[in-house]
Every structure is written in structure tokens, then in C-alpha cells.
Amino acid sequence: MSLLAQPQSMLFETPLALSSGASIGGYRLAYETYGQLNAAKSNAVLICHALNASHHVAGVYAGQEHSQGWWDNMVGPGKPVDTDRFFVIGVNNLGSCFGSTGPKDLNPATGHAWGAAFPVVTVEDWVAAQARLLDALGIEQLAAVMGGSLGGMQALSWTLQFSQCVRHAVAIASAPNLSAENIAFNEVARRAIVTDPDFHGGDFYAHGVLPRRGLRIARMIGHITYLSDDVMNEKFGRELRNAVAGGDGYRYTTQDIEFQIESYLRHQGDKFSEYFDANTYLLITRALDYFDPARAFGGDLTAALARAQAHFLLVSFTTDWRFAPARSREIVKALLENRRHVSYAEIDAPHGHDAFLLDDARYLAAVRTYFNRIAQEVGA
Amino acid sequence: MSLLAQPQSMLFETPLALSSGASIGGYRLAYETYGQLNAAKSNAVLICHALNASHHVAGVYAGQEHSQGWWDNMVGPGKPVDTDRFFVIGVNNLGSCFGSTGPKDLNPATGHAWGAAFPVVTVEDWVAAQARLLDALGIEQLAAVMGGSLGGMQALSWTLQFSQCVRHAVAIASAPNLSAENIAFNEVARRAIVTDPDFHGGDFYAHGVLPRRGLRIARMIGHITYLSDDVMNEKFGRELRNAVAGGDGYRYTTQDIEFQIESYLRHQGDKFSEYFDANTYLLITRALDYFDPARAFGGDLTAALARAQAHFLLVSFTTDWRFAPARSREIVKALLENRRHVSYAEIDAPHGHDAFLLDDARYLAAVRTYFNRIAQEVGA
């Protein structure tokens, strides 16, 4: 039986000071919880989302059988993060577009949508906002904080910003910062959005249009970096979508779809451009760019992670070229140099960065084993 | 002393039948030659260009001291391809925008610029057009045909289409076809161009505009794939362009330049969008997509290359992830299975795909050695 999910929302009146120096008050966070908080309040697990996901981590909404949460294979009754034992919380990050306050909402100072004027938010800001939500829920310490990709960065940041409040951190397919190439891909996506005439400097809401062209390009670029070259070749290869009979099958066209991979990418881009907020895309990719805990320590990650007290599980995937195993190993090394407890699994999976969302048996087993240990430790 | 380059042009009235079934007549090819054709006409070397290059391979134009050809480090007096010994020919491909007939030229059938109606051209078509030029120059056999990237594909195709006319083929940083990921990057670039409102379905010439936004995005994507992650980290890393004094130095902006890599990419995109023809970009990326000599042999590259009679030098670069060494090795393997003479150098260079244009001593020495051998063989 599927878990029934119920979106909730909490309003925070007290302004939150942001990394940029700005602050934001009167904001809402959308969240969901699954399972029961135990009497000792020791079994809470916070799940942090990546670029285009939300608080809807697991389960389905009543009457919507295809509304599975984005990590429904990981979180739920009897699943690796077992909601029969843990109280699991998903939060939509500030600046996102799925229920928490973001650029498409009204800026109380102007009465118009925030648009590009929404304050720049960082991983650290998100973690600070999540901590306020946990306060409000009466949770003083997390059994674990967990996330993949950008979510893993939040998990890591939790252990630095609130080191006493986190027993375990699980960071999957993550990195201690973005490489120049990572930033470059983000920048191309942002330029595609910002230079779309329908972006209107971020005020497209008032014009009744969406910068679909830019969002499509951004999503297509993203998808290429989520998949491995191998899995793309296996799934699509050089297969034609609609080969002409006879001869070499080519239609000889520069603008129409010829190869299946083109059809797939265009479809992904079209879907995304209808539901994702363009200003949110800018904000979230910038949060990725800015994350760099070693920065304040002259680039010394070991020094940066000295504050962390949590125990860690890190997982990476061999074919992930967006956040390659070497990036996870940097974190492992820095934690070990601080004599922290670290488990690390490097999973030989073909799917690239996307693997963190997929059903790889070894991966799910590694997480399950780790959470069994946490459950014993916290009495869940 | 620099070689003085002199662009030339030749008109071909007889229609050329193209792979697509279309044909084109009354077209011009721009070309340059360096060195002297010997009496035996045995010392001709054809250089094929990649995406955004031209017939201007080597030397400078009179009075323009910074007008070096794109492979001036490789071709010239005393250089690896020594114009004191070889008669070297550079040709701008049909459909390009640097002097040969292309989309921005008048379509005689309509009296307007060809635009998107310019016929789709393939690597095979380019080779056929190059062969006509060589006929007109009185050259029956090439001492060598040489190119990097897409130029290497043309060199390979020469050995299949005109197997008796090529003694040696030198294919650098090349591949027997594009992978799904390669096609994907091309497709994103094309979509950025085609969905730019200033593209006007390819008829932007008549509107007095250029689809600069799309071309910028296309070029930025291209540049990311030309460089290795390592060299990007070394050249740009996470360096800020204009750090704010105090604090973490970030300006906290989603639309302005923050990192040096962003500045570099935007600059490359801006430059490119001013001089490169958008319809040519579509045509050339499609020629890349379509190249696949094994296609007519059910994917069997060994069977496809059985026709080749030339001797080969292949070169790849370890950090090239656009056309990785494994792709060159596929060609080497297929040639060896046909018992052809193959030399192969895998150069441990940090620069990614761009390495084929750069001054790596081992790379240049490998090419020099190979051309010394050719010179002895052909009496150059």
C-alpha cells in the first residue's frame, strides 16, 4: 500500500538573514512528513532536494495514483529510509516554485511578483530555513540529514552549520563545490533563460508569458549532464526516430528531429518549460555555484570540515561525470583527516548522475544497511 | 618569416549530386595553397577543416600581421607539415561562411539568400567537392589528406570515397561517428539557434538581424566540450572576476558575471555570434551527426573500412572527452583488422579536444616524423 502524502505549509514571520546580507521575512515553507515522530524525538530524518525536486519526497496524493514523490523508491514503509521507523521530513527550499516562497510570489514591498528581485539564496540559507522549520516541529536533533546532488551539499552544510543537531549525514552523488565545468554548464543554462525575450528581465509574470525557449535549452543541457555517455548510447545510440524507407534512412534535415536522442531531449525540455519557474532556475543554479565550504578556509576542505561532528555515509556512482566519484572522495578524505566516522560506497552503475534517483540494488542496500544502524542507535 | 597566404576561389558550374538526393550547381569553393606542387605532382597535401575554421590554414594575409591561419603551428616552412616540401591545400567547405558558397549567398532560383533552404551537406559531399577542386588543380593523387575532429572524418572519408587517390590519411582527435551525447550537444546548440526569434526560420538576412542569442549559446556549449574539466579548473577554477572586498568576495548575483569561467564563455559566445553564420552552424553540426561510414555496413566499421587503401596516422588526446581516445582506437582496430598500415599516437595532454590545435611537443613531433616519412616516399 502506498503512503499517502499530505502537503503542509508553515509561515515564518521573523526575517531570515541571508548569506548575501539581505533578509527575507513573511516567507512560507512547504513541507511533508511521513511516519511518526517517536516520544524521544530521536527518529527524525530530513531529506533535502536537488535542483528541480520538492518537499514531495515520497508517497502519493489522495486520488492521484501517479503522483509518487521524487524519492519514493528510497523513502516509505519498509524502504531503505523506512517510514515505519523514522519520521521523515521533506522541505521545499526557499526560492523554489513548488509551494515555498519564491520569485513567482508577491513581493509585499511592491505588490508585484518578486521576479529577479527575489534575494539570492545559498545552501547555507536553505539549511538555516530548514532549521527553523525543525525548531517549529520540536525537533532538536536529526537522526539523519540526507540528500543527493545539491541535496547532498545541504546535508554536508547541516553538519557544519548545526554540528550538534545532526547525528548522521548521508550525501549521495555530491561534491564539496562545483568545478569550473559545472559552473560553465549552469552559466550557459542561465544565459539561455536570461536572453530569452520572454524573460523580460525576470518580470515575465506581468507579461503573461513564460521564457519557454530558455527553459527548454536549460533543461536539455541539464539532461545531458545527468546521463552518462554509456547509458545514452545504450538507450538512444544513433537510432533514428522515423527513418525513411530505403537508402541510409536519413531524412536530411537540420531543424526536424532525426535521431531519437533529439526527440527525448526536446520532450524533456518542453515538459520542464511548462512547470518550472525561470527565476527559480537562476537561483538554484547559483546556490550550486556558490556552495564552497572550503572557501572561508583558503580552499582547505579538511579545515572546513573540522567542525562536523556527524557520522557520514557518502555514495557516488562510477559513471557520474557531473559529480564524479573523485569529488565525493575529496569529502571522504577531508573527513578522515579529521578522524570522523565515514562510510563510503562507490557504486559501479551505468546511469551517470541520475543513478542517485534510480533502483540500483547495491545502492539501495547500502543506504538500507546504514539506516538500520541509525535505527538501532536512536531506538527507532 | 611568415608565409604569405592568398585566398583563391574556383567556380564549379556542373551540379554536384549530394547525399540527400538534392544537387547544387554554380557553387564556389574558397581555397588557399602553400608551397609548390612538384613536377611529379606527388607532394600535395589536403587539409580539411572542422566546425568553425576555413581554407585559411596557414600563414598571414599581406598587411594583417595577426591573421595567422588556424593551423599555422602545424603547416608552414619548416613546420611538421613542411610547405618547403609539400604543396598544401586548404579548402573552405561547401555550406560554410568564409568564402565558399553557403546559406548567406544568393540562391539563383529565388534571388534571395539560401538561408535554411541551402541543401543539407555531408562529409561525403564535402569530400566529393574537394575532389573536384583537386581535379581542377591537376592533382591525381594526394600525398596525404589530413584533418582534426570533423576534419579527421573528412580524411577518413577520402580513403573510402577515393581510395586510389590518397597515399596517407592523418586523422587527429576524430571518431568514426558521433555518440548519442555528441549528437545531444549539437542538438541543444541547434535548438538555441532555431528558437532565437531573430533566426526567422533561417531568413534573418532579409530582416537585417543576426540570431546572436542562439549563436552565443551554441558557442558556449561548444567551448565547454572542447576543453577538459582539468584544464578548465587550471585556467579558471572557481576564480571570481571581480571579487567584492571583504567577506567571501561573492557579489550574489544570478545574472551578472561572478566567476571567471562565465566571463570567458560569454566573451567567446559574443565574438562567435558576430562572425559565424547561423545556418552554417546547423549544416555543419548536421554533417557531424550524419557521418557514419559503418552505417551502410550494419554498423560494422571493419567492413566499412575494407575499401581504404591508404596508410594512416591517427592521433588522440587523453583528456579529449568530445572525441575520446576510445573513438580513435575503434578506427585503429578496424583498420588493423583489414591489415592496413596504421600508426597511432595517444598523447597525454591536458587540453581536451582543443589539444589538436595546440602546441604539444610530442604531438607535433609525431606528425613531423610521419610527414618526413611521406616526404621520402613521394620524393618531396
Confidence label for B1 from pLDDT (cuts 50, 70 and 90): low
For residues B350-373, average pLDDT: 97
The amino acid at residue B91 is V
Mark residue A208 as left, alpha or beta (left: phi above 0; alpha: psi -120 to 50; beta: remaining).
left
- Closest Cβ–Cβ partner in B120, B179, B252 for A252: B120
Set B125, B320, B354, B360: catalytic member: B320
Cell numbers for B366, please give them: 609525431
Q: Which residues lie closer than 8 Å to B140 by C-beta, 6 or more apart?
A: B41, B165
- Chosen for mutation from B190, B252, B260, B300 (greatest number of chain A CBs closer than 10 Å) is B252
Closest CA to A315 of A151, A215, A203, A172: A172
Does the pLDDT value for residue A276 go beyond 60? yes
Does the pLDDT value for residue A1 go beyond 90? no
Rounded Cα gap, residues A236 and B181, in angstroms: 9
8 A C-beta contact, residue B251 and residue B258: yes
Say yes or no: A297 contacts chain B, CB-CB below 8 A.
no
Q: What are phi and psi of B197, to 5 degrees?
A: -55, -25
- Give B321's contacts in chain A (Cβ within 8 Å): 321
Residue contact A191–B295, C-beta within 8 A: no
- Closest Cβ–Cβ partner in A180, A190, A262 for B183: A262
8 A C-beta contact, residue B79 and residue B59: no
Cell numbers for B213, please give them: 542569442
Residue contact B229–A180, C-beta within 8 A: yes
The amino acid at residue A377 is E
- Chosen for mutation from A212, A252, A292, A301 (greatest number of chain B CBs closer than 10 Å) is A252
Say yes or no: B14 contacts chain A, CB-CB below 8 A.
no
B200 annotated active-site? no
3-state helix, strand, coil split of chain B in percent (to 5) is 40, 20, 40
- Closest Cβ–Cβ partner in B179, B227, B269 for A229: B179
Residue contact A238–B19, C-beta within 8 A: no
For residues B352-357, average pLDDT: 97
Nearest 5°: CA angle at B288, between A212 and A246? 95
For residues B146-159, average pLDDT: 98
Say yes or no: A179 contacts chain B, CB-CB below 8 A.
yes
Placement of cell 533543461 in the chain: A219
3-state helix, strand, coil split of chain A in percent (to 5) is 40, 20, 40
Distant-in-sequence contacts of A151-157, Cβ < 8 A, 24+ apart: A151/A47, A151/A48, A151/A49, A151/A50, A151/A53, A152/A48, A152/A314, A153/A123, A153/A288, A153/A291, A154/A48, A154/A123, A154/A126, A154/A127, A154/A130, A155/A48, A156/A293, A156/A308, A156/A331, A157/A123, A157/A124, A157/A127, A157/A291, A157/A293
Distance from CA of A108 to the nearest CA of B (A): 21
Residue contact B220–A191, C-beta within 8 A: yes
Distance from CA of B262 to the nearest CA of A (A): 6
Please name the residues between 108 and 137 in chain A that touch chain B, using a CB distance below 8 Å: 116, 120
Closest CA to B101 of B168, B172, B25: B25
Nearest 5°: CA angle at A30, between A24 and A33? 135
Residue contact A188–B217, C-beta within 8 A: yes
What size, in residues, is chain A?
A: 380
Q: Which residues lie closer than 8 Å to A353 by C-beta, 6 or more apart?
A: A149, A173, A225, A226, A227, A317, A320, A321, A322, A323
Does the pLDDT value for residue A133 go beyond 90? yes
Residue contact B229–A179, C-beta within 8 A: yes
- Count CB neighbours of A87 within 10 A: 22
Please name the residues between 234 and 253 in chain A that touch chain B, using a CB distance below 8 Å: 235-238, 248, 250, 252-253
H helix runs in chain A, sequence order: 123-136, 150-161, 180-194, 204-207, 212-226, 229-235, 260-275, 278-290, 301-304, 325-337, 361-378
- Give A254's contacts in chain B (Cβ within 8 Å): 116, 120, 190, 279, 282-283, 285-286
8 A C-beta contact, residue A322 and residue A196: no
Does the pLDDT value for residue B48 go beyond 80? yes
Please name the residues between 320 and 339 in chain A that touch chain B, using a CB distance below 8 Å: 321
Please name the residues between 255 and 294 in chain B that touch chain A, using a CB distance below 8 Å: 255, 258-259, 261-262, 265-266, 269, 279, 282-283, 285-286, 289-290, 292
A-chain residue closest to B122, CA distance: A252
Residue contact A252–B221, C-beta within 8 A: no
- In eight-state DSSP terms, residue A64 is B
Q: What is the pLDDT of residues A311-323, one digit of tens each?
A: 999 999 999 999 9
Does the pLDDT value for residue B311 go beyond 80? yes
The residues that bridge with A59 in the sheet, in sequence order, are none
Q: What are phi and psi of B84, to 5 degrees?
A: -75, -15
Q: What are the catalytic residues of A?
A: 149, 320, 353
Residue contact A120–B224, C-beta within 8 A: no
Rounded Cα gap, residues A140 and A147, in angstroms: 19
Distance from CA of A42 to the nearest CA of B (A): 35
Confidence label for A98 from pLDDT (cuts 50, 70 and 90): very high
Rounded Cα gap, residues A232 and A217, in angstroms: 18
- What burial letters (b/e) apply to B326-356, b meaning 16+ CB within 10 Å? ebbebbbebbeebebebbbbbbebbbbbbbb
Cell numbers for A238, please give them: 544513433
Distance from CA of B195 to the nearest CA of A (A): 6
Rounded Cα gap, residues B32 and B92, in angstroms: 9
- Give B250's contacts in chain A (Cβ within 8 Å): 19-20, 290
8 A C-beta contact, residue B345 and residue B374: no
B353 annotated active-site? yes
What pLDDT, on the 0 to 100 scale, is given for residue A2?
A: 73
Q: Which of A7-16, A243-252, B83-92, B341-350 has the lowest mean pLDDT?
A: A243-252
Say yes or no: B192 contacts chain A, CB-CB below 8 A.
yes
- In eight-state DSSP terms, residue A34 is E
Q: Which residues lie closer than 8 Å to B181 by C-beta, 6 or more apart?
A: A224, A227, A229, A232, A233
Residue contact A232–B259, C-beta within 8 A: no
Q: What is the pLDDT of residues A99-124, one digit of tens each?
A: 999 999 999 999 999 999 999 999 99
A-chain residue closest to B237, CA distance: A180
Confidence label for A255 from pLDDT (cuts 50, 70 and 90): very high
The amino acid at residue B220 is M
The residues that bridge with A113 in the sheet, in sequence order, are A106
- Give A261's contacts in chain B (Cβ within 8 Å): 180, 183-184, 187
Set B42, B54, B96, B149: catalytic member: B149
Q: Please, what is the average pLDDT of chain A? A: 97
What pLDDT, on the 0 to 100 scale, is given for residue A97?
A: 97
Distant-in-sequence contacts of B370-377, Cβ < 8 A, 24+ apart: B370/B168, B370/B170, B370/B313, B370/B343, B371/B80, B371/B81, B371/B82, B371/B86, B371/B144, B374/B143, B374/B144, B374/B167, B374/B168, B375/B43, B375/B82, B375/B85, B375/B86, B377/B143, B377/B167
Distance from CA of B138 to the nearest CA of A (A): 33
For residues A22-28, average pLDDT: 96
Confidence label for B149 from pLDDT (cuts 50, 70 and 90): very high
Q: Which residues lie closer than 8 Å to A31 by C-beta, 6 or more apart?
A: A7, A8, A9, A10, A55, A89, A90, A91, A92, A133
What pLDDT, on the 0 to 100 scale, is given for residue B247?
A: 84
Q: Residue B231 in 3-state DSSP?
A: helix
Helical (H) or strand (E) element with B237: none
Does the pLDDT value for residue B261 go beyond 70? yes
Quick one: how many helices (H) and strands (E) in chain A? 11, 14
